[in-house]
């Protein structure tokens, strides 16, 4: 057991890049998107609608891919997304 603990102590966390997109759920007002849509139409573009979302690019250390995903979900639930009005998606890439 001591040998296993010694090996685990020498394993360095991996770096991961999380791209977290937070967008409004359907049915919620999107004033920034509506303003952008109207301005694009005024400029002569044939636009049906504009949705605005935020993308957070986060570089972090984690034990493995699953740990990085869990940290991303926790960040969304605790700070980045409002569960009442927002959806979120997470894309994770291991950094070399």
pLDDT in tens, 65-86: 999 999 999 999 999 999 999 9
Q: Residues 6 or more apart from 85 whose CB is under 8 A from it?
A: 24, 25, 28
Cα 89 from Cα 76, distance rounded (Å): 9
Helix ranges restricted to H, the chain? 2-10, 31-42, 65-75
Is the pLDDT reported for residue 49 higher than 80?
A: yes
Convert the pLDDT of each residue in 11-43 to its tens digit. Answer: 788 999 999 999 999 999 999 999 999 999 999
Calpha distance 96→46 (Å, rounded): 43
For tokens 């967008």, name the residue. 23
Q: Does the pLDDT of residue 52 top 80, yes or no?
A: yes
Domains, the chain? 13-95 (3.30.1280.10)
pLDDT of residue 12: 81
pLDDT of amino acid 7: 54
User: Measuring CA to CA, which residue among 15, 21, 14 is closest to residue 91?
Assistant: 21
Whether the predicted pLDDT of 95 surpasses 70: yes
pLDDT given for residue 89 in this prediction:
98
Give the pLDDT confidence score for residue 96 in this predicted structure: 81
């Amino acid at each position: 057991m001591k040998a296993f603990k010694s090996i685990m102590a020498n394993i360095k966390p991996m770096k991961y890049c999380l791209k977290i997109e937070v967008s409004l759920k359907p049915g919620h007002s999107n004033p920034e998107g509506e303003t952008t849509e109207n301005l694009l139409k005024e400029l002569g573009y044939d636009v049906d609608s504009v949705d605005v979302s935020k993308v957070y690019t986060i570089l972090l250390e984690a034990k493995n891919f699953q740990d990085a995903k869990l940290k991303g979900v926790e960040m969304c639930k605790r700070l980045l997304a409002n569960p009442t009005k927002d959806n979120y998606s997470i894309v994770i890439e291991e950094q070399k």
